């Protein structure tokens, strides 16, 4: 995935604060932009997109804190995602075209590989609507397969 979302401070802009609404279902990371009434949802932490044992609320809070720290440094950065080691790795990078393995990248989180894209988390797409990764294919031994419950 090419970095597309830019969170930068090139020109004077209103202050931005990143927060986690852990009381929401699902927990959601938001950006609050000074002067705007509504919060901008960034990531909705559905358990289906996480690894077993991961806490949606903890990831929501940790990601909001990491985004805030980077924003407070007043450096340009882009949100990027790489497919590595059977998982989506999401990070911040300083230049377009850089990946999560670049020297200046800041790791944010990893996502379950059962889904094809981190877009589902970023756009609050229901798990049933999110494209799934194909699992390992299995072969049935030669001959015709007939389930025991099949009446014919």
Task: Give the pLDDT confidence of 65-82 residue by residue, as tens digits.
Answer: 999 999 998 888 888 888
Give the pLDDT of residue 30: 94
Which has more confidence, 147 or 18? 18
Are the beta carbons of 112 and 91 closer than 8 angstroms? no
SS3 65: helix
User: Is position 140 within any domain?
Assistant: no
Cα gap 113→138, rounded to integer Å: 19
User: Is position 139 within any domain?
Assistant: no
User: Is position 136 within any domain?
Assistant: no
Cα gap 99→110, rounded to integer Å: 14
Give the pLDDT of residue 11: 52
User: Is position 135 within any domain?
Assistant: no
Q: Which long-range contacts (CB under 8 A, 24 or more apart) does 68-75 make?
A: 68/17, 68/18, 70/7, 70/106, 71/7, 71/9, 71/16, 71/18, 74/9, 75/8, 75/9
Are the beta carbons of 69 and 7 closer than 8 angstroms? no
**In the predicted model, is pLDDT for residue 140 greater than 50?**
no
Structural domain of 69? 5-125
**In the predicted model, is pLDDT for residue 102 greater than 90?**
no
What is the C-alpha end-to-end distance of the chain, expressed in Å? Answer: 48
Domains of the chain: total: 1
Residues 40-69 pLDDT 10s: 999 999 998 898 999 999 999 999 999 999
Give the pLDDT of residue 137: 41
**In the predicted model, is pLDDT for residue 29 greater than 50?**
yes
User: Is position 100 within any domain?
Assistant: yes
**In the predicted model, is pLDDT for residue 139 greater than 70?**
no
User: Is position 131 within any domain?
Assistant: no
**In the predicted model, is pLDDT for residue 136 greater than 50?**
no
User: Is position 66 within any domain?
Assistant: yes
Residues 109-132 pLDDT 10s: 998 877 766 788 888 888 888 887
């Amino acid at each position: 995935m090419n970095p597309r979302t830019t969170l930068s401070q090139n020109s004077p802009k209103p202050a931005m604060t990143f927060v986690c609404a852990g009381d929401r279902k699902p927990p959601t990371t938001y950006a609050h932009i000074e002067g705007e009434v509504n919060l901008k949802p960034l990531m909705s932490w559905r358990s289906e997109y996480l690894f077993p044992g991961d806490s949606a609320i903890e990831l929501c809070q940790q990601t909001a804190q990491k985004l805030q720290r980077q924003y407070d440094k007043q450096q340009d950065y882009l949100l990027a995602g790489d497919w590595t080691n059977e998982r989506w790795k999401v990070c911040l990078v300083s230049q377009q075209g850089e990946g999560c393995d670049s020297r200046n990248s800041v790791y944010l989180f990893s996502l379950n590989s059962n889904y094809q894209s981190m877009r589902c988390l970023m756009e609050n797409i229901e798990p049933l609507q999110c494209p799934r990764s194909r699992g390992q294919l299995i072969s049935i031994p030669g001959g015709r397969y007939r389930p025991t419950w099949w009446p014919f």
